[in-house]
Chain A
Amino acid sequence: MSNDSKKLTELSRRGFLKSTAAAAAVGAAPAMFVSNANAYVNAPKGKSVTLGFNVPQSGAYADEGADELRAYKLAVKHLNGEGDGGLMNTMKPMSLKGNGILGKKVEFATGDTQTKSDAARASAKRMIEKDGAVMISGGSSSGVAIAVQSLCQEAGVIFMAGLTHSNDTTGKDKRKHGFRHFFNTDMSGSALGPVLESEFGKERTAYHLTADYTWGWSQEGSIKNTTEGIGWQTAKAVRTPLGAGDFSQYITPVLNSGADVLVLNHYGKDMVNSLTQAVQFGLRDKNVNGKDFQIVVPLFSRLMAQGAGENIKGIYGTTNWNWSLKDAGSQAFVKSFGAEYGFPPSQAAHTCYVQTLLYANACELAGTFDPCGVIAALEGFKFDGMGNGPTEYRAEDHQCFKDVLVVQGNDNPSSQFDLLNVVQEVPRSQVEYSTTHLGGELGSCNNKA
């Protein structure tokens, strides 16, 4: 414990005495004021340990959130030694025993982030303050992930990020207590570059439509970097309001801009709408400078592909994971998820499941739930058999480095789930960047009780 935080704790204890006195004065001293003698926040006392799953259950990402929740429930089952064990059969190295975590049965609390930072922090706080969660996981947007991550740092619990793609989560806004398995916009850019070059050539002019908030800017920057690196021009980058609905006024200027590639830096509903409308405006039938006009959607998900329907066919993008992968880890996960729910998991479900197992494993390695120990066990942890090939949790920024999938909308799906073709599994070495590239400061671990 650092000196500063020790001082803070003492101060707050004095404050707590005063306020207790105030409460006693009006005739009530509730039992929850009894001071916590544990070494760290929410140290499990009984035979069980509680994890907090904080996902969007209302709003635009509710379906993604529901899939994340399914994955968490499955992970808890497997950790407790029920079901077929899923990825615990393929993960290596693995210290999990199928008897919970450190012999304690895993229980969980759930909450609704509503894809709003305030609501997400409120429900995370409920899980920490009321339900006694030692770890919070989940999220479907970067703003929310960053907000909850900094809360977990303050509160002294671990945050295992769900779906968050902005560089900032493990860059500018990284925290000692936050860990991300999902990839980021820079990796998307590096992975897409060579594929775009070989498919569309070196002489192209790109036009960006970018969602006007941090994730959109992050992605626009990363993709621009890559495409300009392979010799493309950038005609223009136009910012569009989040949730614009109708994008026609942003799409018509593309028609006569001289650009021959449209990059849609949109996610979720915005992406579904802008892609649908861009196709309606005949962009894909156009021929500019003797080249076929192309649309690129750098971040893809199967759930979004469903929303865009026919329009997604043939479009290039990247994704963290797809159920059609044939490695043993992916197969094991799809098998046990499919058997449980009757359909394949989304990439959001995959990353959430993996994060839960990685956290549990780190606790076993550390021999404690103390966040400082868990952080030390996760930092630099190398593993395999989880569906993305050999992976490393880089100690310097808590970002997982692994292969990235370049995918394409399937022209001729063999079933209702067969929406994405994996074009290339871009190796880790190609998407890796230096530890100082994205800036930010991790800070130190915080295990005050």
Chain B
Amino acid sequence: MEALLLQVLNGLDKGGAYALIALGLTLVFGTLGVVNFTHGALFMLGAFVAVSVEKVLTISSKVRDESITFFEAYKETPYLEIWWGDTGAAIIDWSVPISIIIAIPIMLAVGIAMERGLIKYFYKREHADQILVTFGLAIVIGEIIKANFGANAIPQAAPEVVSGSVDIGAAIGLDGVVYPWWRMIYLAFSLSIIGGVFAFLHMTTFGMVVRAGMHDRETVGLLGINIEKRFTIVFGLAAVVAGLAGVMYTPILPPDYNMGMDFLVLSFLVVVVGGMGSLGGAVAAGFLLGILQSFSSMTAVKEIIPGIDQVIIYLIAVAILLFRPRGLFGKD
């Protein structure tokens, strides 16, 4: 019982992350018709905004360790702590939440620059061309990060108060149902971002035009509405969502330059299982894949079907695509 409940929690948590990462991808495909292989790199860039913010906040005064003579080793104390004591330490402690605020304008700028500088020339090109050019860009972004931050993972800590875990089970009379605070925050965060994007698309005029554009681009253009400009903003929005997903994920997964590629395939699976261009589908598919992946990892299941946890998400994708031609919520 406890074990099952924990796996449900794991599934929801994973699902939230998958949905959030896939959201921007499906948004871009739905509106712009672009297969964006840079999406994983945008997720990774967000994570490295968090890394950079932490690096800036922890610029340190260095005291040479005199016992080491062969090279220079320092004991580092961040200036923020020296100047402002506990307040400074608290600011550093909260570097990941602070990064969220900083990541929004940065990722928006990156997204808009990418769309204006590159992607817009590829709207009319074939998907294959889009894949090659965005894949090339993803490699370039990755290599730039590698050149500056190395290939090793760089740990990021969640704020002290939420770095531990909480005994949820105690409230409902179950033993040992313990879950990390940060993962629950991530779930709540992804739900609110997803909700926000939905609200934006359904409750604002801007969103209405974009949705109309997704449906029939030419007619909207004929009505004299500048759909291009709005699509630029949509691309920026997608970059922001991907970047925020990356920032928030850093305490769970220490980021490295290759993490974008690791999530690329996964996010495409989520998008396609949900139905290309369907926001609701992506969210549903994210949770579906997350929960099934968690359950398939249980030893009881693995004993019946060895290796099932290795292939479950692909298996689900195959099953759904064979029985639902356009994914869960796809339109024909």
A and B pair up? yes
A residues with a Cβ closer than 8 A to B are 58-63, 66, 212, 236, 238-239, 241, 243, 245-246, 248-250, 252-253, 255-256, 269, 272-273, 276-277, 280-282, 285, 303, 306-311, 331, 334-335, 337-339, 341-344, 414-418
The 4 closest A-B pairs by CB, nearest first: A309-B155, A338-B71, A62-B151, A415-B73
Give the size category of B's interface with A. 35 or more
Q: Beyond A415-B74, A416-B74: 8 further Cβ-contacts under 8 Å?
A: A239-B302, A281-B178, A281-B180, A282-B164, A282-B165, A310-B155, A331-B70, A414-B67
B residues with a Cβ closer than 8 A to A are 2-3, 6-7, 9-11, 13-14, 17, 65, 67-76, 146, 150-155, 157-158, 163-165, 175-176, 178-180, 182-183, 251-254, 256, 258-259, 262-263, 293-294, 297-299, 302, 309-310
Known A-B contacts A59-B151, A335-B70; the reply to A285 vs B310 at CB < 8 A is: no
Chain B residues with Cβ below 8 Å from A238 are 299, 302
Chain A residues with Cβ below 8 Å from B309 are 241, 249
Inter-chain contact B70/A334, CB cutoff 8 Å:
yes
Chain B residues with Cβ below 8 Å from A246 are 14, 17, 252-253
Inter-chain contact A344/B297, CB cutoff 8 Å:
no
Chain B residues with Cβ below 8 Å from A269 are 153, 256
Known A-B contacts A245-B262, A416-B74; the reply to A256 vs B3 at CB < 8 A is: yes
Chain B residues with Cβ below 8 Å from A280 are 158, 163-165, 180, 182-183, 251-252
Inter-chain contact B252/A61, CB cutoff 8 Å:
no
Shortest Cβ distance from residue B139 to the other chain A in the assembled complex, whole angstroms? 10
Shortest Cβ distance from residue B247 to the other chain A in the assembled complex, whole angstroms? 16
Instruction: Name B73's contact: one of A256, A311, A341, A418 (CB within 8 Å).
Output: A418
Chain A residues with Cβ below 8 Å from B182 are 280
Q: How far is the CA of A397 from the CA of B112 in the complex (A)?
A: 60
Chain A residues with Cβ below 8 Å from B152 are 63, 303, 306-307
Interface of A is mostly: helix
Shortest Cβ distance from residue A344 to the other chain B in the assembled complex, whole angstroms? 6
Inter-chain contact B65/A277, CB cutoff 8 Å:
no
Inter-chain contact B153/A307, CB cutoff 8 Å:
yes
Inter-chain contact A343/B75, CB cutoff 8 Å:
no
Known A-B contacts A243-B262, A273-B254; the reply to A236 vs B299 at CB < 8 A is: yes
Chain A residues with Cβ below 8 Å from B153 are 269, 272-273, 307
Q: How far is the CA of A246 from the CA of B7 in the complex (A)?
A: 13
Chain A residues with Cβ below 8 Å from B151 are 58-63, 66
Chain B residues with Cβ below 8 Å from A248 are 10, 13-14, 183, 294
Give A246's nearest chain B residue, CB to CB: B14
Chain B residues with Cβ below 8 Å from A344 are 70-71, 73
Chain B residues with Cβ below 8 Å from A255 are 2, 6, 176, 178
Q: How far is the CA of A249 from the CA of B11 in the complex (A)?
A: 8
Shortest Cβ distance from residue A69 to the other chain B in the assembled complex, whole angstroms? 13
Inter-chain contact B72/A342, CB cutoff 8 Å:
yes
Give A62's nearest chain B residue, CB to CB: B151
Chain B residues with Cβ below 8 Å from A339 are 70-71
Chain A residues with Cβ below 8 Å from B180 are 280-282
Instruction: Name B146's contact: one of A62, A311, A337 (CB within 8 Å).
Output: A62
